[in-house]
Amino acid sequence: MTFNDFIEEIRQRADIVDLVSDYVKLELKGKNYVGLCPFHNEKTPSFTVSRDKKLYYCFGCGAGGDIFNFLMEIENLPFFEAAKVLAERYGVPIPQKKPNRTRRKSDEIRDQLFEIHEWAAKFYQYLLLEHKLGKNALKYFEKRGFTRATIEKFRLGYAPRAWTALFHFLKKKGYPDYLLEKSGLVLPGKQKNGYYDRFRDRAIFTIFNLRGQPIGFGGRVMEPDQNPKYLNSPETPIFLKNQNLYGFNFAMDQIRKTGQAIIVEGYTDVITAHQYGIENVVASLGTSLTENQARLLARYAEEVYIAYDADTAGQKATLRGLDILKNTGLIVKVIELPDELDPDELIRKNGAEAFKSLLEDAISFIDFKLNKILKQYDLDSPDGKVQAVQELLPMFLNIDNAIEKDYLIKQIVKRVEISEQALKEELEHFIKEKSKIKDRNDKNWHTSKETRKVISDDFEAKFINAILRIPQMIGKIFEEITPDFFQNSDYRLIMQQIYLCYQQVRESGDFSLLTTNNLVENFSDNDLKKKVLELLFYYQDYEVTEKFIVEGLTKLKEYQMTMEMETILKKLKQIKNHGNLVDLNQILIRYHRLLHYGMERGGING
């Protein structure tokens, strides 16, 4: 099987709706499936998936492509790795040879980084469970209440005190120094005289990607006088902290099933919750939740509960996380933990039911922020009231629901003890101050709508849409017109790419490659590719036939002829004033030929 055959076999077997549904909640509307875009924040679904076309497109941000593009974008994978994942999913044999030397090198590095992390996870867990060196670390985990099954499931381990234990272990597996350094698991010596292990004498927590592959590690000291308390893997080609959540690979099914996710701070919080049967719990890798992590949660959940520690740092992290989660369209609530207890301690001390009862009593996004902000000010003084209201006003920017806004207004009026009229005047002034940003956003949005309006009235756009949907007509089109027949510069470039693809297919002799998907994938320019996808999806309900294309060819040629005649008339005027008779004669001959042809076609009035 050639590489092209391999890719085409995946494309034919794969169901793009099935794949995308693992990451986005889709709803059938007409011919297509729609949902909230996983690549940008939105509250109204503009992400569209076509099972027939095997393509997706977002009318909001322009992201689009086929199954390969989707998996590459959603999981930050290079092309060949995405192809391998899809091949395994849909039972397509993977060819031994990779497509080209450049891609082979890039994929080989990622493959080896995954292998290195897999070996490291085995190394750390072997020392924890099977070697006397891991005795103290095992006691540490057992003291936290972790069972053997839990330790094995989460692949906990121990990094020995020795400086180069893991380095030498991995060197024996045949990995070069530069690649071990790239993995982040070893560091070069300060004098550049060798390498040493990043994690030493630490309890190890393995960090996984969505597919359950080890991609990084967290190391925790076991003695109170050791520093730093926590040490984590750096970012690498296979590990981006802001795009992953600890424990998500174990929690994703339950999150999808319940529509709810619980975010905690620490590794042990996640592990304890799962051991006690609360399996929709994840942790941010660091206390600051990111937009990418929020979007990841929004693909699976409708409600998110934050259960950060009750200390000051935890409360600040909660406030930051609330806005980020709310902006993704999630329903956000806060689990208020008893003082001095984190989720791990609470569950071990009082059991899973105690934690679940706190879940039921979780307070809303509005109430939590309101409580925390108002506690900071003296509401008995005028200055305190002013300061409190000024800090509360930005909350309205994250609330679209009229009922929630009304609730917030009434709560502020009641608790700050001010008039509703005064609050509304301050709110109006605040919104006006923010109007410049809003106006800019509105302008961008209206421009987008106007662009679509132009496209909807544009024959050239419809013609290209027809070509993409009936690619077997490209040969005929190629014989009769060139890209220069198109007046829109973007459409000329699109037609150039379509012709280029057609020429490649014709040279190969394999006309089965002349498909809508291959035409779309032929675009290396992302802006043009987005325009092509928009044309495909925007005109999906527009009926196209071979007859439409044939008539369209005539229309394009007649329009081109009309444009040429207008150009000739301009030249005639110039020659009349200061030209020579030879030029005049040649131009008149051309003009009369065009006029005669136009009258025969009925396209030009004589």
Can you tell me the mean pLDDT for 181-195?
89
Would you state the pLDDT for residue 578?
Answer: 57
The pLDDT value recorded for residue 470 is 86
Q: How many angstroms separate the Cα of 538 from the Cα of each of 59, 427, 456, 462?
A: 9, 39, 8, 10
CA dist., res. 47 & res. 38, Å (int) = 8
- Confidence category of residue 605, pLDDT binned at 50, 70, 90: very low
pLDDT at 485 over 70: yes
pLDDT higher than threshold 60 for residue 587: no
Question: How would you classify residue 15: left for phi > 0, otherwise alpha for psi between -120 and 50, otherwise beta?
Answer: beta
C-alpha radius of gyration, the chain, whole number: 31
**The model's pTM:** 0.70
Which residues does 478 contact at the CB level (< 8 Å), separation at least 6? Answer: 499, 502
pLDDT band at 441 (very low <50, low <70, confident <90, very high): very low
From CA 124, how far away is CA 128, in angstroms rounded?
6
Between 527 and 204, the higher pLDDT residue: 204
**Structure confidence by residue, pLDDT tens digits, 24-38:** 889 999 889 999 898
**Half-sphere exposure (CA, 13 Å, Cβ side) for 273?**
28
Span 55-74, average pLDDT: 89
Q: Is residue 412 predicted with pLDDT exceeding 90?
A: yes
What percent of the chain is modeled with pLDDT above 90?
43
| Alpha helices in 259-396, H assignment, sequence order | 267-275, 291-298, 312-327, 343-350, 352-360, 365-374, 382-392
Q: What is the pLDDT of residue 304?
A: 95
pLDDT for 378: 93
Beta partners for residue 195, in sequence order: 188
**pLDDT level of residue 584 (50, 70, 90 thresholds):** low
* Confidence (pLDDT) at 360: 92
The sign of the torsion formed by the CA atoms of 551, 553, 556, 559 equals: negative
Range of 41-45, 50-54, 106-110, 194-198 with top mean pLDDT: 194-198
- pLDDT over 80 (residue 340): no
Predicted confidence (pLDDT) at residue 455 exceeds the cutoff of 70: no
Cβ within 8 Å of residue 386, ≥6 positions away: none
Strands (E) in 199-336, as ranges, are 202-208, 214-220, 230-232, 245-246, 260-264, 281-284, 303-306, 331-334
Q: Which residue has the higher pLDDT, 599 or 274?
A: 274
Matching residue, tokens 């049967």: 277
pLDDT tier, 214 (very low <50, low <70, confident <90, very high otherwise): very high
What is the model's pLDDT at position 40? Answer: 83
pLDDT of residue 33: 95
Q: Which residues are CB-contacts of 325 (< 8 A; sequence separation ≥ 6)? A: 289, 294, 297, 304, 306, 332
Is residue 76 predicted with pLDDT exceeding 80?
A: no
- Which residues, 6+ apart, have CB-to-CB distance to 16 below 8 Å? 49, 50, 51, 54, 55, 56, 66, 67, 70
Our measurement of the distance from residue 149's CA atom to the centroid of its chain's CA atoms, rounded to an integer in Å, reads 34
